[in-house]
Amino acid sequence: MNTTSTRVAIITGGSRGIGRRTAERLAADGFAVVVNYARNEAEAKEAVDAITAAGGRAISVRADVADEAAMGALFDAAEEAFGGVDVVVNAAGQMSLSPLVDLDLEVFDRMFRTNVRGTFVVNQQAARRVRGGGAIINFSTSVLGLLLPGYTGYAATKGAVEAVTRILAREMRGRDVSVNAVAPGPTATALFFEGKDEETVARFAAQPPLERLGTPDDIAEVVAFLAGPGHWVNGQVIRANGGLA
C-alpha cells in the first residue's frame, strides 16, 4: 500500500486525445503523472506544460509500448521521479479500418503490435510494479458490441485486450490492485475524425440516446473513477458510449 501523500500515474499515449485529457484529469485529482509518448515530443511537452501550469506534477518519457525494455525503463523513470507507481492507464493504440477481405496484413500486424502486444507488455510491467491500492486500466472499444463492418481487425485486437483485462484481474488476487478496461463509443478525437466526412460523423453522433459524440472529458471521467479510491469495481469492461449496445 502506498503510504506517501502523492499517488503516481503512468499514462501511455498520454500526449494527445483521450490519453492527454486523462493525464490532465488525474493531475487535477492530485496524481503525479508520467506522460508516455511514442513519437511526438512537442505534443508530450505541451501536455506536461499544461499540467505544470495548472499546479500539477508531470514528466514525459518516450517509449514504445510493445518494447519490453523500453517499458521497463518507463517504469524505472516513474519510480525515480516520483517514488513508485499506483495507477497505469494504457491509452496507446492504433486503429486502421477496412473490411477483412481487403485489410493489408502488414497494417493488421502494426495494430496487433501496439494494441495487443503493447497491452500485454504494459500490463506485465504494471502487474509487477503497481503498489497495493492501485489500478490498471486498459482501453477497449464499444465496436465489439456494435459489430460495425470495416472494424474487423481493430475489434479483434480489442477483444484480446478485454481477455487480458478480465484474466489479469483474477491473477492479481491478494495484491489489492484492480484491473479494468474502458470501452469508448464514438469519441470526438483526431483518431475518430480521420477519414470520415461530415455525413458519417453526423450519423455516428445521432446513434446514442444522448444524441452526440463522446468527448475526451467524458472518457477521462470514467478513468478517474476507476483510478480513484472507490476500489470495488474490478475485472470489468465499462462501455462508455452514451447508451449504445
Residue 2 is predicted with a pLDDT of 62
Annotated domain spans of the chain: 8-234
**Backbone conformation region of residue 92, classed left if phi is above 0, alpha if psi is from -120 to 50, else beta:** beta
Sign of CA dihedral 26, 158, 73, 16: negative
pLDDT tens digits, one per residue of 120-129: 999 999 999 9
Provide the 10 A C-beta neighbour count for residue 111.
20
Residue 192 is predicted with a pLDDT of 84
Among the listed residues 144, 93, 79, the one whose alpha carbon sits nearest the alpha carbon of residue 122 = 93
* Length in residues, the chain: 245
Rounded CA-CA distance 231/245 in Å is 26
Please identify which of the residues 37, 139, 151, 154 carries the catalytic annotation.
154
Rounded CA-CA distance 208/196 in Å is 18
Q: Is 154 a catalytic residue?
A: yes
Residue 230 is predicted with a pLDDT of 81
Sheet holding 87-90, edge to edge: 57-62, 32-37, 8-12, 87-90, 135-139, 178-182, 237-238
CB 70 within 8 Å of CB 63: yes
Task: Give, in order, the Cα–Cα distances in Å from 169 to each of 116, 160, 230.
Answer: 17, 14, 16
Residue 245 is predicted with a pLDDT of 73
Rounded CA-CA distance 164/240 in Å is 19
Rounded CA-CA distance 106/226 in Å is 34
Bridge partners (DSSP) of residue 178 are: 135
Provide the 10 A C-beta neighbour count for residue 5.
6
Residues of the chain with pLDDT under 50: none
Cell of 72: 521497463
Rounded CA-CA distance 49/23 in Å is 12
What is the C-alpha radius of gyration for the chain, rounded to an integer number of angstroms? 17
Dihedral angle of Cα 19, 37, 139, 172, to the nearest 10 degrees: -120
Provide the 10 A C-beta neighbour count for residue 209.
7
From first CA to last CA, the distance across the chain in angstroms is: 37
pLDDT tens digits, one per residue of 51-77: 999 999 999 999 999 999 999 999 999
CATH fold of 8-234 reads Rossmann fold (3.40.50)
